[in-house]
Structure 1
């Protein structure tokens, strides 16, 4: 078997794997970016804040979605180069793979931070609502208020 036959088989296998990964990341990224990625335990951010509220899930994944799309495009570019790579040209798929990993990690970091901020805002809003409901309401003696208003009217009328 010639080295070129092995190389072309390797090119095809790596190119297909890159393109499959690209398709998965682009599809999931688009779904997440438009807020349509359903809550699940298989795909998505895995931080505790994301699971607390549906709105946290949606907002965090809207942040991370474009990074997943970028990851998919980097993998697609790497796949395109993998089909034609030989010798030093293999550096291009490697660089594309590293770019995809960097985009994935930066997106995960931004998404986790967005989830923490949204969760913090929801908890602050819930705490404010609870405080407002528990605050004692001032008691007003309406009879005393009526008497005082009547006396004030009498004093103005007599003056």
Structure 2
């Protein structure tokens, strides 16, 4: 009989730990303070596409995470105090997973409604290589694409276009000095 109770206690502890994680995700998602991360939350290409998509998805999913946590807590408590407690912990886990799964699907659909962000750091086509392009003609802003790879040396910190490695000073053979 003690072995059965020990298994119930272990199951209760495990569901309480998962409930704590889901409570954190639910509250942080509801308040919009869940930071983008690789460990917790709804992690799909739609939800990580932008900060706005991440925030919206987790605000939508928050009630399901909180409901799943509640199911886990009830299952864990029943596991400790009722006969056949392990089954209550498993039942709470199944109900919690069902709640989180359903709202995660809804959250993904909500994240799909967020427009894709403009790619502000996308290389020459976004004028990244030209630094400050105010008043610069577009054909001059990326001379690297026009066959002049070192034309903008020293004007940018981007390094994402054809200038990569082109702005290093050339050395004279044997002298070690830049030209």
Q: CA RMSD in A?
A: 1.9
Kindly indicate whether residue 40 of structure 2 is the aligned counterpart of residue 8 of structure 1: no
Is this contact kept in 2: 1:19–1:75, CA < 8 A? yes
| TM-score under structure 2 length normalisation | 0.60
The answer as to whether partners of 1:72 and 1:100 remain within 8 angstroms in 2 is yes
SS in 2 for 1:36: coil
Distance 2:94 2:38 in 1: 26
Q: Hey, what's the Cα distance between the residues in 1 that align with 2:87 and 2:39?
A: 32
C-alpha separation in 1, matches of 2:90 and 2:40: 25
Q: Which position in structure 2 is the counterpart of 1:70?
A: 67
Q: Greater relative contact order (Cα 8 A, min sep 6): structure 1 or 2? A: 1
TM-score (normalised: structure 1): 0.67
Tell me how many residue pairs correspond in the alignment.
118
* Aligned position for 1:94: 90
The equivalent of 1:104 in structure 2 is: 100
Q: For the residues of structure 2 that align with 1:20 and 1:39, how far apart are their CA atoms?
A: 21
Contact 2:11/2:89, CA 8 A, preserved across alignment:
no
2:38 pairs, out of 24, 37, 41, with 41
Give 2:112's match in structure 1, choosing from 92, 112, 116: 116
Does the CA-based 8 Å contact 1:35-1:61 persist in structure 2? yes
Structure 2: 5+ residue runs without aligned partners? 119-179
1:94 deviates by: 3.1
Select which of 53, 57, 66 maps to 1:56. 53
Larger Rg: 1
Q: CA deviation at 1:90?
A: 4.9
Instruction: Give 5+ residue unaligned stretches, structure 1.
Output: 127-159
Tell me how far apart the structure 2 counterparts of residues 84 and 51 of structure 1 sit (CA, whole Å): 41
- Give CA deviations for 1:34-60 in whole Å, capped at 9, x if unaligned: 100001122222221222221111111
| C-alpha separation in 1, matches of 2:75 and 2:69 | 10
Alpha-carbon distance in 2 for matches of 1:12, 1:90: 8
